Amino acid sequence: MATASSCSPLVAVLVALLLCRGDIPAPDCALCASAAARQLAGACRGRADARVWYDYCFARYDDADFVGLPDTGYALILLNTQNATDPEAFEKAQRKVMARVAADAGDAGGGGLARETARFKDGVTIYGLGWCTRDITAADCGLCVAQAVAEMPNYCRFRRGCRVLYSSCMARYETYPFFFPLDGGQSADASASAAGDYDRVVLNP
């Protein structure tokens, strides 16, 4: 199921982008890309501006040429409905993880993907990720992910998981493994089952 989609009325000429996260295995990427394309064609038929976010991939088209232009004008925020155990200590730990993610995202050698982990307590690990579309520069990627990370305390304070999704990048942390390679040989389905429920906030729709 798509994380989210957004659509606006159609005009004649469209620019499109479809890509997977850099850590995603090729078979999973192909499945995600196919699902995203179907989602755009179905839910957004006849529209000029559309985006669809999945865990593994992102697809977008627009009647304006957005390629190479960092876009943080539209944001979708998903926050876990459960608070972390020992929330103050957890908040401090996840902010350290996500600060490293934001710094790593600006590394030209990272390919627009940054991943970090940190042990918390009682067997809990914090997993952090930043991901950018490949049409923007490494410097713009770092700035985009840093902006997404900076938005997290406004909506996700003390929460066990959070995602901030822009049209050019995203930032995410969880207390279960969600990026590849998965810890301990877990399957992606098993990890996803640990996600729990999420609330949704849309900014600048």
| pLDDT exceeds cutoff 90 at 201 | yes
Q: What beta strand segments (E) does the chain contain? A: 4-9, 15-20, 47-53, 57-62, 75-80, 113-119, 125-132, 162-165, 169-174, 198-203
Query: d(Cα 67, Cα 146) in Å, to the nearest integer?
Result: 20
pLDDT for the residue 190: 52
| pLDDT exceeds cutoff 50 at 85 | yes
Domain over 75-203 is classified CATH 3.30.420.40: no
- The full set of domain ranges for the chain reads 4-62, 75-203
pLDDT for the residue 41: 86
The predicted model gives 133-142 an average pLDDT of 96
Total-model pTM: 0.88
Select the more confidently predicted residue: 112 or 3: 112
> What sign results for the dihedral spanned by CA atoms 115, 118, 123, 124?
negative
Q: Read off the pLDDT of residues 141-199 as tens digits, 9 standing for 90 and up.
A: 999 999 999 999 999 999 999 999 999 999 999 999 999 987 655 555 555 556 789 99
Q: Read off the pLDDT of residues 145-158 as tens digits, 9 standing for 90 and up.
A: 999 999 999 999 99
Q: Which CATH architecture has domain 4-62?
A: 2-Layer Sandwich (3.30)
Place of tokens 């865990």: 55
Confidence class for position 7, pLDDT limits 50, 70, 90: low
Lookup: tokens for 41: 């064609």
pLDDT-wise least confident of 32-46, 71-85, 144-158: 32-46
Over its C-alpha atoms, the chain yields an Rg (Å, rounded) of: 17
Lookup: tokens for 149: 């990370």
Confidence class for position 1, pLDDT limits 50, 70, 90: very low
Same fold, 4-62 and 75-203: yes
